[in-house]
Homo-oligomer: A and B are copies of this chain.
Amino acid sequence: MDKDSFFWKIVDGRLPPPPCAGVLGIEFAAIDGERGTAEIKFEARPEFLNPAGNVQGGFLAAMLDDTMGPALSATLDVGEFAPTVNLNVQFHRPARAGPLKGVGRVVQRGREVCQLSAELFQNDRIVATATVTAVIRKM
């Protein structure tokens, strides 16, 4: 972990957030770079809805990916990045337009290969869960 890493500069407002953060309405609620945990708020827009009026599952997957990414990014040193190589999402119940909360953590942090997991909530009910395999690379 290095507070001068790319990720922490975004958290601290020293760098602008990436474009994809805007689409998902991301807001960092709690980030712990020592423990590798993240709590992220999202906003599901009406444009994310499928014909049934629920949030299309892919957008929930995007939110879960963007919950686990910060949990790992918070632990990285300057010049490191960690692309996701596998994402597995389990869908438990439909989500509506409105606020959601992602809770993510680094489950296993190898020198290169890392295993992450996260849960996504709406109104304190679990909507979807996911695991990610990511690999740390040097820029």
Residues on A close to B: CB < 8 A? 6, 10, 15, 18-20, 22-24, 46-52, 56-59, 61-66, 81, 83-91, 94
Contacts and interface: CB of A to CB of B under 8 A. Distances in A.
Contact of A87 (B46, B61, B63): B61
A89 B85 CA distance: 8
Contacts of A47: 19-20, 22-23
Nearest to A16: B51
A17 B48 CA distance: 12
A17 to B, nearest CB: 8
Contacts of A88: 86-89
- Copies of this chain, complex-wide, total 2
Contact of A50 (B15, B18, B46, B58): B18
Contacts of A83: 57, 91, 94
A95 to B, nearest CB: 12
